Amino acid sequence: MFERFNMKKINSIIILIVLISVPLFLYSQTVDKVYEVDASKCVGCTICVRSGKCPTNAIEMKNGKAVIDSSKCIGCGICAKNCPFAAIHEVEFADSTAQMDEEKVPELADSTEVAQQVFIVDADACIGCKICVRKCPVSAITMKDGKAVIDTSKCINCGICVDVCQVKAIHKTDDEK
C-alpha cells in the first residue's frame, strides 16, 4: 500500500511539472514572424475581426481598417489565410516591432475623399437566390420584389457579392455587364 501511495504522488508531481513547464516553454519561444495589414488592400469588411479565429485577439479596427497589434500577434497566420482580399501578409519580425499607430492608418473623415467603386445589381439577371444577402459582411444587400438591392450607404465596397453571385448579376458601375 505504501508503494501505491508513492506512485500516485510521483505521478501527480510529474503531471504538475508538465503543466507548469509546457506553458512556460511556449511563452519563452521567440516569435520569428508576425503579420500586418496592407491598408491599401483592406476594405474594412471586418471579417478578420468578426471571425474570432485570431487566438490572441490581436486584430482590431481603426479608422475603418484592420490593424494587428504586433505585441499580441503570435505569427500563426490564421488571419492572412482568412482575409479574402489578401490584405494581411507576413513581415519580418524586425520590421514589425513598431506597433501600428493611428498616424499610419489613413484618416477617412469624409467618404468623398476616397474614390469609391459602387456595385449595382442587374435586376434582369438576378435570380433571387439570396446568396449575396447571406454573404454580405455588413448586411448592405436586401431583397425587394425578389431581386437583390444594394444599400450604397451601408456597402463597404468589398466585392464579396460580385464573387458569390453565380449568375454575375452584380458588378461595379464602371464594369461592362
What domains can you pick out in the chain, each with its CATH number?
A: 33-96 (3.30.70.20), 115-172 (3.30.70.20)
81-130 residue pLDDT tens: 888 889 998 876 543 334 444 444 444 444 444 455 789 999 999 999 89
pTM of structure = 0.45
CA torsion 114→111→51→133, rounded to 10°? -100
Instruction: Please say if the pLDDT value at position 78 is more than 90.
Output: no
Tens-place pLDDT, residues 31-41: 567 788 998 89
CA distance 60 to 69: 8
The residue written with cell numbers 499580441 in the block is: 72
Q: How many beta carbons lie within 10 A of that of residue 25, not counting itself?
A: 9
pLDDT digits (tens, 9 = 90+) for 34-71: 788 998 899 888 888 887 788 888 899 888 889 988 77
d(CA 12, CA 38): 49
> What does the pLDDT read at residue 26?
54
